[in-house]
Amino acid sequence: MPKDRPAALAIAKSEVVFHGKIWDITRETFDYNGEPLVREFVSHPGAVAVIAMNESAEVLLINQYRHPVREFLWEIPAGLLDVPGESKLEAAKRELLEETGYVAEGWSELIEFHTTPGGNNETISVFLAKDLRHQGHDLELEGEETDMELAWVSLAEAVNSVLASRMRSPSAAVGLMALALKHGIQPSA
């Protein structure tokens, strides 16, 4: 079975060439097979995403504006690992509550992936949340989160949307496909 493996290459130089609000652009020089290589990449804190699934095998999706692609995307709740000392699971719980008002009793890590390993170091951990209860919140949401739409969709319908390229959020696509495979859900023809 193929398995990714870590590599500890010698870094000759590392510098932040752009410092952003959420992530930076880093330029590193490293030795690869006796040759110095220079690569620039987005240095990202990492993120979590949550597939909230109810007892009817429906998943909770959010519709949120994403400026770089100029689209409102159907996604799963997600957010940055930007609170010092917070575990991935605690971040997932926080994001689910902030973006949907739901809390969950049952939690498991579903899958972890690199979003764009040729251009950034972001890793996203996708969690499955079950035994849901709507608690609501009085948080002051900002920016693109102020008008998010929520929808319960059957897992099969969500998977079909991914396969038809109607849902293109990578967290949703990877997470929903992993969940469907683990649950034996077959997309419709």
What contacts 187, CB < 8 A, 6 or more positions away? 156, 159, 160, 163, 180
Which residue out of 28, 58, 112, 145 is catalytically annotated?
145
Q: Around Cβ 6, how many Cβ atoms within 10 Å?
A: 4
Rounded CA-CA distance 148/76 in Å is 11
- Of 149, 5, 16, 163, give the one whose Cα is nearest residue 75: 149
What contacts 88, CB < 8 A, 6 or more positions away? 48, 81, 109, 125, 127
The string of DSSP letters for 88-133 reads HHHHHHHHHHHHHSEEEEEEEEEEEEES-TTTB--EEEEEEEEEEE
Rounded CA-CA distance 77/62 in Å is 7
Q: Assess whether 35 carries a catalytic annotation.
A: no
Active site residues: 145
